[in-house]
Amino acid sequence: MNSYEQLDAWIDAHFDEEVRFLQELVRVPTDTPPGNNAPHAERTAELLKGFGMEAVKHPVPDAEVKAHGLQSITNLIVRRRYGEGRTIALNAHGDVVAPGEGWTHDPYGGEIADGRIYGRAAAVSKSDFANFTFAVRALESLQAPLKGGVELHFTYDEEVGGELGPGWLLKNKLTRPDLLIAAGFSYEVVTAHNGCLQLEVTVHGKMAHAAVPHTGVDALQGAVTILNALYAQNTLYQQVSSKVAGIRHPYLNVGLIEGGTNTNVVPGKVVFKLDRRMIPEENPQEVEADVRQVIADAAATVPGITVDIRRMLLAKALRPLPGNQPLVAAIQQHGKALFGQDIPAMGTPLYTDVRLYGEHGIPGVIYGAGPRTVLESHAKRADERLELEDLRRATKVIARTLFDLLS
């Protein structure tokens, strides 16, 4: 039996244990907002200790957490050192969006049905807490001579940009790996992703009784004018094409609108939040300036309104760094062997906190346990699920890849 077969056999023998570990992680809610994520880190560290893995806890100061609108964050680093050589970090995030409605399974139950595990974060990305942990355990079961080391980075603010997760760990020099594998899906290895600009736009008018509307200034009418201009711009974005496979064009989404006082009152204030996805070729500063100009120009056509714009997030795109090739090659080789199909290297229209490693010059890729598409996983929708066989095979791919790079 060669080393790859030994790794596979260990993972098969311990797979029920891996699934139970994932179930335990799903059962601790990490809805963000409100973002009370420290309890999940505590539970994760407790479970890791049962495997003989010491997780160093890095609580983010309360003031920083609350400034981001969250309640608590404790990031975890597990360090496994085997000898001189490069360090490979494996990063997954534990924070999630709230379950919402329409579930047919308990979103915090970790229920198993029809070969799948159901629950919020079953696919994105508590599954890769399990994947990465058990890949490292399989690697160490070989007791083979290895070089370098592995770090597990389990972080808790990807849903709000990652600045208090990987960004905080890197900024405070708590880690500096040489290579990175971050949570993803099994049928592609992602080397690039979109950037994201999020803005909060507040349109101010003047409240008035609906019986005498001419005495007020309708903030909603102003907001509609601005929104129409933004949606017109969104149509133009479709004419811009990215050269990165898997990424098509920029786009804009307005995801939240609130305002007004009552049915019989001319609304004096309307707030909306927009999300502008940027392809890797775009300059983030230019994109933000352009969006602000579109808003300002539209607002100028509505007498009496004023507009405040607050940046909530500016996440740069992930661009491939030359040093990621050994990761790409190993994952593609073992992915093809275990999944029976080619694993393309490509971009994704999502944005992730992996970009923060890239900004520090750390080559990385996105690869983990999951289906072919976000839609199949039901991520951020009801009945999020993961095929258990995808988890099993992805764990083998990661274990083999670590063995190749550290042998």
When mean pLDDT is compared across 131-135, 257-261, 322-326, 338-342, the lowest value belongs to 322-326
Backbone angles phi, psi at 293, to 5 degrees: -70, -40
Confidence (pLDDT) at 53: 98
When mean pLDDT is compared across 5-14, 217-226, 365-374, the lowest value belongs to 365-374
Model confidence at 316: pLDDT above 90:
no
Across 296-320, average pLDDT: 94
Confidence (pLDDT) at 160: 82
Confidence (pLDDT) at 1: 86
Model confidence at 339: pLDDT above 90:
yes
Across 292-314, average pLDDT: 97
Pairing mode, strands 269-278 and 116-118: unpaired
Any idea which residue has 């009801």 for tokens? Answer: 382
pLDDT band at 94 (very low <50, low <70, confident <90, very high): very high
Across 218-243, average pLDDT: 96
Across 337-352, average pLDDT: 92
User: Is 363 in contact with 374 (CB distance < 8 Å)?
Assistant: no
CA 273 to chain centre: 19
Please tell me the distance from the alpha carbon of residue 191 to that of residue 27, in angstroms, as a whole number.
Answer: 31
Residues 6+ apart with CB under 8 A from 400: 4, 7, 330, 334
Asked if the peptide bond before residue 303 counts as cis, ω within 30 degrees of 0, the response is: no
Confidence (pLDDT) at 348: 86
Model confidence at 216: pLDDT above 90:
yes
Confidence (pLDDT) at 315: 86
Instruction: Give residue-wise pLDDT tens across range 167-177.
Output: 999 999 999 99
Encode burial over 255-294: b for 16+ CB neighbours within 10 A, e otherwise: eeeebeeeeeebbbbbbbbbbbbbbbebebeebbeebeeb
Instruction: Give residue-wise pLDDT tens across range 105-164.
Output: 999 999 999 999 999 999 999 999 999 999 999 999 999 999 999 999 999 998 888 899
Q: Which two tokens stand for residue 17?
A: 């244990």
Confidence (pLDDT) at 374: 84
Model confidence at 351: pLDDT above 90:
no
When the pLDDT of each residue in the chain is averaged and rounded to a whole number, the result is: 96
Q: Is the pTM of this model over 0.75?
A: yes
Please tell me the distance from the alpha carbon of residue 188 to that of residue 336, in angstroms, as a whole number.
Answer: 10
SS3 86: coil
Q: For residue 139, give the amino acid letter.
A: L
Any idea which residue has 């804009």 for tokens? Answer: 252
Model confidence at 266: pLDDT above 90:
yes
Spatial CA neighbour of 184 closest among 361, 403, 353, 4: 353
pLDDT band at 294 (very low <50, low <70, confident <90, very high): very high
User: Is 181 in contact with 401 (CB distance < 8 Å)?
Assistant: yes
Using a pLDDT cut of 90, give the percent of the chain over it. Answer: 91
- Give the strands of the sheet with 385-387, arranged side by side: 112-113, 116-118, 385-387
